[in-house]
Amino acid sequence: MLTESRLLWKGTGGAHPEAPHLYKINGLYYLMIAEGGTEYGHMVTIARSSDPNGPYDSCPYNPILSHRSLNNSIQATGHADLIQAHDGSWWAVFLGLRPVSYPKRHHLGRETFLAPVTWTDDGWPIIGNGGRVESIMDCPAFTGNPWPLQATRDDFEETTLGLDWTFLRNPEPGSWSLHENPGNLTLCGTKVSLDTAGAPAFVGRRLRHLSCNISALLHFEPKHEGEEAGLTVFMNERYHYDLAVKLKEGRKMIVFRRTVGSMRTESAQVCAPGTVVLKIEARPEWFGFSVQQDQSHVELATGETHLLSTEVAGGFTGIFIAMYAVCDTEQSSPALFDWFDYAPVDCCNG
């Protein structure tokens, strides 16, 4: 810091004024903040001054973005940032939620939204339509190279993971590989399970759609009952659903497990003698779990989305769908994932 701190603006009176952004536009300094907390009272407000040190005058149209008390599919809009595109148009990128059902609960976390910005005759920015946005909006024609669409399937043929994949914290060396068995993602389980705040053998991607179908082809031959591999719908170490391949009483089985706070159940098991396709059907209010072997398809269980929601499980970042492996000894059997599919069901609505 080069100078002492000084108060510039307290906002409009909403709770938790935070995340200030300062812009110089047409000779004026615009100070934009978030107010109302990151829940359903969230909003974006703005003030301006001819001097970066103030004093700042509050925008008469504040909040310039808020969905508080509105019956809109997008809620908790806030934490915005202004950008001007190469064609001169103005836009806002901001955070919001897409809650499901009633009472409102959301499990995708805070998502990133984009909306057009217009300027009033007296020089104030307004986001969307009078401070409101919709899932689909009319916007100015935008030129340039479109962002490439993600492929539905990852065959793990590349030498590096795609940018949509992520780890849970910093992965243990040797816990994953694209080189050990080319054409497969190989996970080697460690003693770190999904129930601890550590770094398990875990490669996942964020759940980005309320409705989508997910599947993965798994080759896994566990040698003892302390190791397993499969797919997890993961909010945090205390809230997750697992579709696991493991040994039970000497037989290789597929089981479905719920971990919801202090409650933990394991049920709906089916014998799995060979290679299996693990499947998750995601819908706004539930997840369906099933398995396919050869020509047979067995539906195992369902789990409610609201039990993994922020309102129940806490957190802001939403659910991961991940491939994982666990082993309670030093000698783990490799779990080979031949491919992973993530297919949105309806891109317009979810």
Cis status, amide bond into 173, omega within 30 of 0: no
Instruction: Report the percent of the chain where pLDDT is more than 90.
Output: 84
Q: How far apart are CA 93 and CA 258, in angstroms?
A: 36
pLDDT for residue 348 is more than 50: no
Using only C-alpha atoms, the chain has a radius of gyration, in whole angstroms, of 24
The two three-digit tokens of residue 220, written as one number = 């896994």
| Mean pLDDT in residue range 234-244 | 98
Query: Which amino acid, 336?
Result: L
90, burial (CB in 10 Å: exposed 0-12, middle 13-18, buried 19+): middle
**6: which residues sit within 8 A by CB, 6+ positions away?**
53
pLDDT for residue 147 is more than 90: no
Q: How far apart are CA 282 and CA 288, in angstroms?
A: 6
Check residues 242 and 148 and name the one with the higher pLDDT.
242
Q: What is the pLDDT of residue 142?
A: 66
Q: Give the chain's mean pLDDT.
A: 93
Which of 132-141, 203-212, 327-336: highest mean pLDDT?
Answer: 203-212
pLDDT for residue 241 is more than 90: yes
Q: What is the pLDDT of residue 350?
A: 53
Q: What is the pLDDT of residue 121?
A: 97
Q: What is the pLDDT of residue 162?
A: 92
Residue located via tokens 């098991």: 269
Which of 42-46, 89-93, 136-140, 167-171 shows the lowest mean pLDDT across its residues?
A: 136-140
List b or e across 313-338, with b for residues whose CB sees 16 or more CB atoms inside 10 angstroms.
Answer: beeeebbbbbbbbbbeeeebbbbbbb
Distance (Å) of CA 185 to CA 191, 203, 295, 325: 19, 9, 24, 12
Q: What is the pLDDT of residue 143?
A: 61
Spell out where 222-310 has E strands. 227-236, 239-248, 251-260, 263-271, 276-283, 286-293, 296-304
pTM of the model: 0.91
Domains for the chain: give ranges and CATH numbers: 18-127 (2.115.10.20), 153-344 (2.60.120.200)
pLDDT one-digit tens code per residue, 257-289: 999 999 999 988 888 888 999 999 999 999 999
Please report the DSSP string for 186-241 in residue order.
Answer: EE--BS--TTSSS--EEEEEE---SSEEEEEEEEE--SSTTEEEEEEEEEETTEEE
Q: How far is CA 142 from the centre of its chain?
A: 27
Question: Residue 65 in contact with residue 131, Cβ under 8 Å?
Answer: yes
Q: How far apart are CA 49 and CA 71, in angstroms?
A: 35
Q: What is the pLDDT of residue 349?
A: 47
Q: What is the pLDDT of residue 140?
A: 72
| Mean pLDDT in residue range 6-19 | 95
| Mean pLDDT in residue range 60-69 | 97
Residue located via tokens 């949105």: 344
Q: How far apart are CA 287 and CA 240, in angstroms?
A: 11
Q: What is the pLDDT of residue 295?
A: 81
The two three-digit tokens of residue 292, written as one number = 């396919």
pLDDT one-digit tens code per residue, 148-173: 666 799 999 999 999 999 999 999 99
Q: What is the pLDDT of residue 330?
A: 83
